[in-house]
């Protein structure tokens, strides 16, 4: 099936083809006709399957065939589509997709998010845009200042809705919904289908079409997943060993905390490995610079917290490393989805110490598979090591919460959403709707038992999170 067969105009198909894409992905085959038809949609697909193009392409089609002409030259273009995303990087990525695929239409777009000056955004909104991509907090800032008019919004998109709930944006979302016209098309896209997402969908959507391309919380099959058991104080030397021994030249590394990300960058630098960090305490210019250098291949290692990594969309990213396992099992799916995108292969490696056995068991329960383990010579973990508590997050007055394991240090974050109850222990908040529309042409674990005592691990021959300001 081609894109033109899905009901897209020649101008939109031309822009898609120029990017080297010819065949729609499964989510696009179902979502594009559903959005063009005008009804509400609840869509779930694995990270890297083309969700972003699944809504940007049909929105461009709908708006370009029903143009709104200002009554006079002094009237600004009304905002006809609003796309909400949880992070700055994802907002920028989505807006870039809109510009790329809408280049031969008469539509324009803009993006607004926090962490940068508001005056250029006020000027942008004054001139008017057809499609606006925004983070919830900055959007509400503009509304409170009277610099935005949302009364003519025809289409609302909640992108990465699951992450917005995890980050506690439900109250901001409710405020935005109260501002918008009651009559509109609603599209809810999510990398995973949680019960909380379905609850939100019940409140937001009107008799929606429902698409779920991959099985719930599945991981991309083309990603080779592996666990390296290691003592907590040997994680950094092991990571440096893996990078140098295997000549990895583009590695996305996830840490649990912003402090942990900064510390790891410093340690890798002393090893002669070029690394930069991306997280909520970094300025937007620093985040943009790090991401740009990582994308163009001049930066070997990008160390990120979960939230900041949303929106990282890199073709052919070969390696993702879980330096710290995520506290929320679903975030493992998001993390490793940074590689293996659009049908490409990739490798996801997790460095697991005794503190994280319970987290590993939770992940394996979620993805319904046991991850293969490999002990690396020179990094054999101590079978008698005792687990230390993992501090999930830090807040005012040191009200930390712990969960069976630990590389301390937590993430300050928004209050948990009342519509997204947490299981057993509080979970901390966390790369991505995939902006590429298609494939290129041609183309129970036992927590108390030490990992090293489970089955007979293979040995290699080698020697030897949160973001408080993404909105």
Q: Which residues pair with 157 in a beta bridge?
A: 83, 187
Q: pLDDT of 305-359, one tens digit each? A: 876 666 566 667 889 999 999 988 888 887 887 775 555 568 899 999 999 999 9
Architecture of domain 4-212 in this structure: 3-Layer(aba) Sandwich (3.40)
User: How far apart are the C-alpha atoms of 45 and 218, rounded to whole Å?
Assistant: 9
Q: Kind of pairing, strands 438-440 and 21-24?
A: antiparallel
Phi, psi for residue 190 in degrees, rounded to 5: -150, 145
CA dist., res. 277 & res. 310, Å (int): 14
Q: Which of 28-32, 329-333, 434-438 has the lowest mean pLDDT?
A: 434-438
Instruction: Tell which residue, 372, 387, 393, 402, has the closest CA to residue 166.
Output: 393
> What is the phi/psi pair of residue 66, to 5°?
-140, 60
Mean pLDDT along residues 433-440: 47
Distant-in-sequence, close-in-space partners of 38: CB < 8 Å, separation ≥ 6: 62, 185
- Tell whether the torsion through CA atoms of 137, 143, 146 and 147 is positive or negative: positive
d(CA 129, CA 78): 6
When pLDDT is averaged across residues 37-54 and rounded to a whole number, the result is 84
Enter the pTM of the model. 0.62
What's the rounded Cα separation, in Å, for the pair 99 and 131?
10
CATH architecture of 223-460: 3-Layer(aba) Sandwich (3.40)
> Tens of pLDDT along 125-174?
999 999 999 999 999 999 999 999 999 999 999 998 888 887 788 899 99
pLDDT in tens, 69-109: 655 555 678 999 999 998 888 898 899 999 999 999 999 99
Q: Quick one: pLDDT at residue 343? A: 53
* Domain ranges, ordered by start, for the chain: 4-212, 223-460
Buried b (16+ CB within 10 A) or exposed e, 331-363: bbbbbbbbbbbbebebbbbbbbbbbbbbbbbbb
Tell me the helix, strand and coil percentages in the chain, rounded to 5: 35, 20, 45
- What average pLDDT does range 220-240 have in this prediction? 90
Distance CA 361, CA 330 (A): 12
The C-alpha atoms of residue 21 and residue 17 are separated, in whole angstroms, by 5
The 8-class DSSP code of residue 457 comes to -
Nearest CA among 262, 340, 339, 242 for reference residue 303: 262
Provide the β-strand partners of residue 277: 303
């Amino acid at each position: 099936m081609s894109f033109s067969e899905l009901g897209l105009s020649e101008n939109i198909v031309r822009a898609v083809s120029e990017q080297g894409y010819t065949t729609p992905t499964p989510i696009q085959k179902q979502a594009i006709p559903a959005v063009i038809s005008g009804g509400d949609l609840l869509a779930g697909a694995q990270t890297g399957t083309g969700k972003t193009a699944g809504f940007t392409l049909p929105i461009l089609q709908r708006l370009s065939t029903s143009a709104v002409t200002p009554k006079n030259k002094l009237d600004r273009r009304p905002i006809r589509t609003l796309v909400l995303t949880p992070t700055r990087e994802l907002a920028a990525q989505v807006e870039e997709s809109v510009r790329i695929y809408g280049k031969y239409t008469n539509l324009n777009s803009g993006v607004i998010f926090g962490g940068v000056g508001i005056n250029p955004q006020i000027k942008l909104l004054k001139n008017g845009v057809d499609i606006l991509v925004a983070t919830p907090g900055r959007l509400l800032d503009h509304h409170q200042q009277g610099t935005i008019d949302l009364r003519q919004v025809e289409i609302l998109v909640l992108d990465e809705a699951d992450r917005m709930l995890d980050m506690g944006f439900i109250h901001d979302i409710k405020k935005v919904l109260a501002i918008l016209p009651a009559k509109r098309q609603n599209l809810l896209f999510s990398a995973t289908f949680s019960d909380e997402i379905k609850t939100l969908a019940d409140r937001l959507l009107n008799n929606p079409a429902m698409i779920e391309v991959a099985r719930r919380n599945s991981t991309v099959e083309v990603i080779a997943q592996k666990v390296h058991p290691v003592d907590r104080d040997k994680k950094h030397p092991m990571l440096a060993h893996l990078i140098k021994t295997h000549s990895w030249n583009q590695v996305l590394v996830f840490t649990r905390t912003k402090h942990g990300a900064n510390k790891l960058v410093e340690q890798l630098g002393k090893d002669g490995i070029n690394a930069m960090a991306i997280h909520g305490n970094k300025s937007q210019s620093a985040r943009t610079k790090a991401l740009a250098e990582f994308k163009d291949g001049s930066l070997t290692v990008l160390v990120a917290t979960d939230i900041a990594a949303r929106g990282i969309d890199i073709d052919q990213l070969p390696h993702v490393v879980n330096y710290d396992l995520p506290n929320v099992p679903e975030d493992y799916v998001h993390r490793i989805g940074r590689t293996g995108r659009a049908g490409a292969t990739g490798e996801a490696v997790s460095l697991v110490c005794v503190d994280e056995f319970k987290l590993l068991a939770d992940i394996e329960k979620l993805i319904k598979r046991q991850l293969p383990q490999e002990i690396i010579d020179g990094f054999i973990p101590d079978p008698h090591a005792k687990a230390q508590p993992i501090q999930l997050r830090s807040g005012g007055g040191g009200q930390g919460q712990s969960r069976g394991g630990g590389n301390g240090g937590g993430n300050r974050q928004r209050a948990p959403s009342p519509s997204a109850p947490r299981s057993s222990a509080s979970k901390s908040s966390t790369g991505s709707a995939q902006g590429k529309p298609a494939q290129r042409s041609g183309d129970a674990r036992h927590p108390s038992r030490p990992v090293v005592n489970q089955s007979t691990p293979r040995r290699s021959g080698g020697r030897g999170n949160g973001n408080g300001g993404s909105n």
